[in-house]
Structure 1
Amino acid sequence: MPDAATPAHDLVIRGALVIDGTGAPRRASDVGVTAGRISALAAPGSLAGQEVLSGDGLILAPGFIDVHTHDDLVAIDRPEMTPKISQGVTTVIAGNCGISLAPLTATEVPAPLNLLGPGPRFCYDSVADYAEAVDAARPATNVCLLVGHGSLRLDAMADLSRKASAAELDRMRRRLDTALAEGAIGLSTGLYYKISEAADIDEIVALAELLPAHGGVYTTHMRDEHDLILDSLDETFTTARRAKVRVIVSHHKCAGPQNWGRSSETLAVIEAARSRQEVGLDVYPYIAGSTVLDPVFVDERIRITVSWSTPHPEMAGRDLADIAAAWGIGQREAAERLHPAGGIYYNMSEDDVRRILAYPHSMVGSDGLPQDAHPHPRLWGTFPRVLGRYCRDQGLFDLETAVRKMTGLAAETFGLPDRGVIREGAAADLVLFNPETVIDKASFDAPLQPADGIVSVVVNGVEAWRKGEPTGRRSGRLLSRARMAA
């Protein structure tokens, strides 16, 4: 029993098996939380708290860090963040794939910026303005922001079909430098997309070289994840070496049936690069990706599901092939008729997904699109799917490894001190889950389903989720280098 003389903690999670995010073996422990920090780890049953949660038969882990999101706007407009908090995510890294809500003001935005929301919602001219809006909304999760290269280009350039001029590049550099000083944690690129494909390596290096002075990272949706994937990896590593910055390969995949099985080759290239420079990568646990529905991406070899369409919203959730057949036209013409729209592309192999997930240095990111009418199920299911399907049911790795991929490794790679670990003094971002029942419920047919087995989620010391329901207590905030160091 707790010693009556022991000062009570704000919250005690009693008797759980603690997996601390470092990869160390689990151990039974009480965990005390005071003033938003982990204040004690002690023998089971030894701590007293003003509030006590039972951890009997449960795993207590650091809150999951979703390293690849497009939650820039939803953190402000729908701060309950139910798709994320319901699966144990306590920190989201937004601004990926070269698209960020800030720093940019616009009335109209091209694809893929429209994946975040309509043009008028791009109303944050600075990261400082964005941080103020996030803090005012007080989302259920913490938010980190990457600055999108595509957003910088749209801010600086009238013609996105060419490389930036010296004056335009100078404006982008100044805007990025200010954004990093105001709290952004890095730069992202989406060289795959039309708004950025004209940028050459010199343009990216000129921006990325600003990152080391701010402790920032460089993440990239590479130029090609299909046939030219090795060329894109080489460009990625060369860019980072020239800029002297850590690089993260976003949602690593080998896309297109002709490339299935090549992950053995790409992971060997990544492993070799890691001997020369700092390289990370993230992956989501599904065989389908999701992005804008561009007729250029339609080749009628793979299944595509429409996730949203402005002119034909009634088609969300239907397969493009079925829509085309009903209209009596080809799939590419149907995609043109649906435009602007989003699509779910079944373009990966399960063997590649498993191999990349099992790679020791891969992190987990959902890449979910919260604005989609019929989103990819990764928005709601990514982290429980790793824990349930790939760890428990398939034995791809042990639970300690799975947790580290989603916590400690992510925090180390993105430079988030005191997150992603359970130790005294660390931020009290925690998830309590049942290892026997945790599983994703979201499916491609019914994607808006919370997971099973997530018992409690604590963010900055405040319980935000309990037994399948939000508590209504939101304590997230924008995490910047300055705030994390304070």
Structure 2
Amino acid sequence: MYDLKIINGTVLNFETNKGENCNIGIKEGVISCIGACPESAKKEIDAEGKIVSPGFIDIHMHEEVLDYAKAHDSYDISNSMVLMGVTTCVAGNCGNNRQSLEDFIGFIQKYGAPVNYLSFIGHNYLRNEVGSADRYKKSSKPQISQMQKIVIDSLSRGAVGISFGLEYSPGVDLEEVLSLCNVVEDKNLLLSAHYRKDAKHAIDSLNELVDISKLSGFPMQISHLGSCSAYGQMKEALELIQNAITQGHDISADCYPYDAFSTYIGSAVFDEGCFELWNKSYDSILLTEAPYKGIRCNQELFYKVREEHPNLLAVAFVMNENEVVEALKSPFVMVASDGLFRDGQGHPRAAGSFPRVLGKLVREDQELSLIAAIKKMTIMPAKRLGLNSKGVIKEGYDADIVIFDPLTIIDTATYEAPKNTPIGIDYVIINGTIAVENNSIVNGTIGMYIPSRL
């Protein structure tokens, strides 16, 4: 007897690039049958007219601050992740961890999580840990030595690799970056990096990331390519990355489907000269948290908030949407959310990225085929992360599955209401257990921490 059986659904076959009407039998968290699957089941889901897809894998998001005193109430961003079909996601991006890897893993092992998690160890987090607090200065040799020890320890705990946030720490040089990479002997490691500078500096920044990969010998995942290059540089950026790949370098990228980015208003991203760089004015900045939630900046407010509320999340409407779409269509670019919430506030990408691609870019705008988009959310990130039993509907693979209606799936999250739940997602199944039913979380503890398998 199956634990769960899905009948009459359209199952995506990545080998034939077609949908096939068939049943799926699930036992003990694993897909045990695809086809007629004649055995009975403890629970049966009729997916007629629906797409049965591998669970989406978000290779770039930002985890919660987890609090033992709040237990399951600590989860914020990952609740939105699972509601938009994400079954596995990667924390610790852009050089930032929101707590130690030890605490992060320990919390998930104790309480479970709404999604499966992997994590990078972030360079800027390491800098803070060792007292290298001045973002405009390079770390000292003793500080770098301390960071190297934490990197080795983090990798032993199963970190998937090292992430860098070069724009957030302008004082970091190539030597400091490579010193952390070169301490690792095992080359089964993934680097992830938030570029040094966007817009007219995008090409130089991307070249730097390619050089880091070349010099370190590690593959490079370029973070949120849209917010780097969607200012008139995307065509050249995509050509640069493709040339590096053609030359044999292991480079890929991710992108979210929005024309606005989000980060803390006090970060170096908003340093002097940013508006000239983007050819935008102060009112392109939307503040997302109290006491200024929903207010656009003027010059006075911008500098006031930078000074008095530097950790307030802001949204910057500065990118060209057509170039974001161009990035998402590229064969080496995956869909990712870059999602970050604090107390439910932030950018709607954290609750809408994946259904937005399927509803807007695929169905409405026909910029991508359905199967091409799904691959960018599943098999591509699974392979990148070494998740050899995820990302595909196949016998023997983990039963991480999303069942959605291709005719109705769409995001509903807005900049005013960034946590609005998408529509059109009937079920999300994680490790063989139903996590979401009819757009509502029914079990938020199924997820686990996955040590790196690279």
SS of the aligned residue for 2:138 comes to coil
Q: Find the counterpart in structure 2 of residue 314 from structure 1.
A: 291
Question: Structure 1 residues 131, 187: CA separation in 2 closer, same or farther (over 3 Å shift)?
Answer: same
Q: Find the counterpart in structure 2 of residue 148 from structure 1.
A: 122
Q: Find the counterpart in structure 2 of residue 58 from structure 1.
A: 50
Matches within 5 A, 1:406-485: 406-472=377-443, 474-481=445-452
2:344 and 2:418 in contact (8 A); partners too? no
In the TM superposition, residue 36 of structure 1 has moved relative to its aligned partner by: 0.9
Question: Structure 1 residues 375, 20: CA separation in 2 closer, same or farther (over 3 Å shift)?
Answer: farther
1:20 and 1:61 in contact (8 A); partners too? no
Distance 2:265 2:254 in 1: 23
Distance 2:241 2:66 in 1: 33
In the TM superposition, residue 445 of structure 1 has moved relative to its aligned partner by: 2.2
Amino-acid identity (%)? 29
Unaligned regions of 5+ residues in structure 1, if any?
1-7, 102-121
- Is 2:179 aligned against 1:183? no
SS of the aligned residue for 2:120 comes to strand
1:211 and 1:217 in contact (8 A); partners too? no
2:258 and 2:349 in contact (8 A); partners too? yes
Amino acid at match of 2:359: G
Matches within 5 A, 1:64-463: 64-73=56-65, 77-79=73-75, 81-101=78-98, 122=99, 124=100, 127-160=101-134, 161-193=136-168, 196-210=169-183, 213=186, 215-253=188-226, 260-276=231-247, 277-294=249-266, 296=271, 299=275, 301=281, 303-308=284-289, 313-321=290-298, 329=300, 331-333=302-304, 335-371=306-342, 374-463=345-434
Q: Find the counterpart in structure 2 of residue 109 from structure 1.
A: none
Distance 1:351 1:399 in 2: 19
2:429 and 2:436 in contact (8 A); partners too? yes
In the TM superposition, residue 74 of structure 1 has moved relative to its aligned partner by: 5.4
Task: Spell out, residue by residue over 1:349-397, the C-alpha distance to the aligned partner (whole angstroms, 9 max, x if none).
Answer: 0110110011111111111112155311111101000000001111111
Question: Structure 1 residues 151, 200: CA separation in 2 closer, same or farther (over 3 Å shift)?
Answer: same
In the TM superposition, residue 149 of structure 1 has moved relative to its aligned partner by: 0.2
SS of the aligned residue for 1:84 comes to helix
- Is 2:12 aligned against 1:16? no
In the TM superposition, residue 46 of structure 1 has moved relative to its aligned partner by: 3.5
In the TM superposition, residue 190 of structure 1 has moved relative to its aligned partner by: 0.3
Distance 2:171 2:15 in 1: 41
Question: Structure 1 residues 249, 165: CA separation in 2 closer, same or farther (over 3 Å shift)?
Answer: same
Distance 1:480 1:77 in 2: 24
1:65 and 1:411 in contact (8 A); partners too? yes
2:79 and 2:444 in contact (8 A); partners too? no
SS of the aligned residue for 2:414 comes to coil
Distance 2:424 2:191 in 1: 34
The answer to which of 133-142 and 372-381 deviates more is 372-381
Task: Spell out, residue by residue over 1:378-437, the C-alpha distance to the aligned partner (whole angstroms, 9 max, x if none).
Answer: 111010000000011111111111100000001111222211111111111110000000
How many residue pairs are counted as aligned between the two chains?
Answer: 438
SS of the aligned residue for 1:19 comes to strand
In the TM superposition, residue 336 of structure 1 has moved relative to its aligned partner by: 3.1
SS of the aligned residue for 2:413 comes to coil
2:66 and 2:104 in contact (8 A); partners too? no
Q: Find the counterpart in structure 2 of residue 111 from structure 1.
A: none
TM-score normalised per structure 2: 0.91
Q: Find the counterpart in structure 1 of residue 24 from structure 2.
A: 31
Amino acid at match of 1:64: F
1:307 and 1:372 in contact (8 A); partners too? no
In the TM superposition, residue 10 of structure 1 has moved relative to its aligned partner by: 0.8
Amino acid at match of 2:251: V
In the TM superposition, residue 255 of structure 1 has moved relative to its aligned partner by: 5.3
Amino acid at match of 1:252: L
Distance 2:46 2:20 in 1: 15
TM-score normalised per structure 1: 0.85
Amino acid at match of 1:138: G
In the TM superposition, residue 346 of structure 1 has moved relative to its aligned partner by: 0.5
In the TM superposition, residue 61 of structure 1 has moved relative to its aligned partner by: 0.5
Question: Structure 1 residues 211, 348: CA separation in 2 closer, same or farther (over 3 Å shift)?
Answer: farther
2:111 and 2:445 in contact (8 A); partners too? no
2:108 and 2:449 in contact (8 A); partners too? yes
